[in-house]
Structure 1
Amino acid sequence: MRIVNAPIRLPNILSIIAALVAVVLWAVAPLLVDAARSIPPFQLTTIALISGALAVLPMSFRSREARKSVKVSWQWKLVIFGLVPLLVLGAVGAYLAGLGMAPTAEASLITYTWPVMFILISQWAFHRRIALPVIAGALIAFSGAALLLGPEALNNGFSGNLTGYGLALLAGGCWALYSWICQATPVAIAPVMPGLFLLAGAGAAAADTVSGSAHVLPSGTALAAGVALGLGPYGLAMVAWDLALRKGPTALVGSLAYAVPVLAALFLVLAGIAAPDWRLPLAAMLVVLGSLVAASRRRA
């Protein structure tokens, strides 16, 4: 789940299809989480990350010889093999826990503000300042979340959902920081992603044990949804997105990512998980618009 700078290449229809596959898989993630709701969050995180590691295993065989010639400092090794698994664990674990404590549609939309947070981090890291269009884009995007959460806060004080929304925001922040590290690291992270996912999965399993949740085999439907969550949004989508970014037109591929919150909101309504509310599509469009405004500065 990352946005990187790459040279503009000739349009490649296969790369566009790969990007669309990734976008659709990310958009169905809330549906799969809802189907696996009976599984405790850390246990579900473990299932999803281990399944995702298996799905992205082919990436570890790519460019193995090229990686041997790249010298990486111990500081970057610590970041890649220490911080990145923690960020993946935080992103997936906080997202799944947040959706268990707050309405699925609203919590998902908060997490999907991560591209704007990524642009804010990237701007500050590389320029030590944040351009006005980026600030404006962030305000537009976060106004989408405020549109959904404001009336609820005024009417009944979030009804105990505030913790879930906070976890969803934390998940978005972890994805944003993970994406920036993928951009800044001197070597590609994709080839070692299976190992990083396994490390994050081990952390989730340890957290599940410490939390004292009952270790019972989930029901067939919930278990299938958890495995599908790892194989799809956290597995195949990662492979497809990496292919799209490496082979396709960067600007177009990057813009496709902003369709995720709109499609996610649509899928949730069609599945009957979210009520048809005029605020939901408007909020999703604000998130997309804010992302495009913020990203326009980076393409300038």
Structure 2
Amino acid sequence: MPANLYALGAIALWAMLSSLGVALKHVPPFLLTGLALIIGSLLSLPFVVKDRRQWAVAPQTLALGVFTLFGFHFLLFIGLRIAPAVEVNLVNYLWPLFIVVLAPLYLPGIRLRSAHVLAALLGFSGAAIAILGGRESTGQAWNASWGYLLALGSALIWANYSLQTKRAALTGRNFPTAAIGLFGLVSGLLSLLCHCALEPAANLNLRDALLLTLMGLGPLGAAFFLWDRALKLGDARQIGILSYITPLASTTLLMLVSGRPWNWSIAVAALMIVGAAVLGTRAK
């Protein structure tokens, strides 16, 4: 169905996000977030030039979009800097499970079953194994725990946004997909203001510029528009299970890029987290 194809397109782009974040970890996080989001927002300009009402959204909708795009990526990029990247990536990708488990709180007609509770426990157990395995394999101190906490926070932020978007579509308070460009533009400008006030100046080379452009047009640009269409047209629970392709693809790519070999904790954690999503979405 078209909704699942949109979701798969977003998933394919998001699989690159953590690897790009690690490749650009020398770029200050506010600067990285700001530039990438502004580049991504440019994709909505053709729609806005044709109809300026595409950016006419309620203040609370704008606030939700800005908080999500700004907060999610800032927390993720900071987490990738202070804790093992592969484990942070797995914890961050608990958001599909949160979409399934929290759906009854947002969407009418959906109830939480015992299988959902078991799925939540299994998913969190997988995240715990990833975290403990990361500490064991890298010898990092407990300070790295903040990185995992930030990744968990970013996962909750994205799950909340996704479910709010679906609820708005069901209750007739929908916003145009092109409005995501406005969310990205405002979030990007806010990030750049924070960079000017809080971070040292940074010199970017041609490689940095190319990677930032790729991040902006892909994971922080087109992926958002595809995801929005998927949520508005499809079943959030089906999309949730498709989303668990992302941690496997993203983690595999991240390990290839970083040259880090697979170990038992990563393999077990990935299987548990994906199994949790399958269990949660198949519960009737």
- What TM bracket, shorter-length normalisation? 0.7 to 0.9
1:46 Cα deviation after fit: 0.3
Q: Please list the CA deviations of residues 243-271 of structure 1 after superposition, one character each: whole Å capped at 9, or x if unmatched.
A: 55566787755532110001111112222
Does 2:157 align with 1:169? no
Residue equivalent to 2:26: 38
SS in structure 2 of the partner of residue 190 of structure 1? coil
Structure 2 Cα separation of the partners of residues 25 and 93 of structure 1: 18
Counting only pairs closer than 5 Å after superposition, residues 238-257 of structure 1 correspond to structure 2 as: 238-244=224-230, 253-257=239-243
1:58 Cα deviation after fit: 4.6
1:56 Cα deviation after fit: 4.0
1:60 Cα deviation after fit: 4.8
1:136 Cα deviation after fit: 1.1
Structure 2 Cα separation of the partners of residues 62 and 158 of structure 1: 53
Structure 2 Cα separation of the partners of residues 91 and 24 of structure 1: 18
Q: What root-mean-square deviation, in Å, do the aligned CA atoms of Structure 1 and Structure 2 show?
A: 3.0
Structure 1 Cα separation of the partners of residues 214 and 6 of structure 2: 18
1:277 Cα deviation after fit: 1.4
Structure 1 Cα separation of the partners of residues 95 and 187 of structure 2: 20
- Summarize the Cα distance change of 1:222–1:119 in structure 2 as closer, same or farther, 3 Å threshold: same
Residue equivalent to 1:5: none
Residue equivalent to 1:194: 181
Structure 2 Cα separation of the partners of residues 248 and 184 of structure 1: 12
Does 2:198 align with 1:215? no
Aligned pair count?
278
What amino acid sits opposite 2:269 in the alignment?
Answer: A
Do 1:102 and 1:162's aligned partners in 2 also have CA atoms closer than 8 Å?
A: yes
Does 2:118 align with 1:136? yes
Structure 2 Cα separation of the partners of residues 250 and 174 of structure 1: 16
Do 1:32 and 1:229's aligned partners in 2 also have CA atoms closer than 8 Å?
A: yes
Residue equivalent to 1:27: 15
Residue equivalent to 2:38: 50
Do 1:61 and 1:191's aligned partners in 2 also have CA atoms closer than 8 Å?
A: no
Counting only pairs closer than 5 Å after superposition, residues 141-152 of structure 1 correspond to structure 2 as: 141-152=123-134
Structure 1 Cα separation of the partners of residues 4 and 50 of structure 2: 21
Structure 2 Cα separation of the partners of residues 84 and 115 of structure 1: 18
Residue equivalent to 1:3: none
Residue equivalent to 2:61: 80
Q: Please list the CA deviations of residues 108-155 of structure 1 after superposition, one character each: whole Å capped at 9, or x if unmatched.
A: 111110122223332224479743222111111111111111245579
Structure 2 Cα separation of the partners of residues 144 and 284 of structure 1: 7
What amino acid sits opposite 1:210 in the alignment?
Answer: A
What amino acid sits opposite 2:192 in the alignment?
Answer: A
1:222 Cα deviation after fit: 2.2
1:106 Cα deviation after fit: 0.7
Does 2:90 align with 1:109? yes
Do 2:166 and 2:232's aligned partners in 1 also have CA atoms closer than 8 Å?
A: no
What amino acid sits opposite 1:120 in the alignment?
Answer: V
SS in structure 2 of the partner of residue 176 of structure 1? helix
Q: Please list the CA deviations of residues 155-190 of structure 1 after superposition, one character each: whole Å capped at 9, or x if unmatched.
A: 957452112111111111110111121112211352
Residue equivalent to 2:193: 206
User: TM (normalized to structure 1)?
Assistant: 0.81
- Summarize the Cα distance change of 1:60–1:106 in structure 2 as closer, same or farther, 3 Å threshold: farther
User: TM (normalized to structure 2)?
Assistant: 0.85
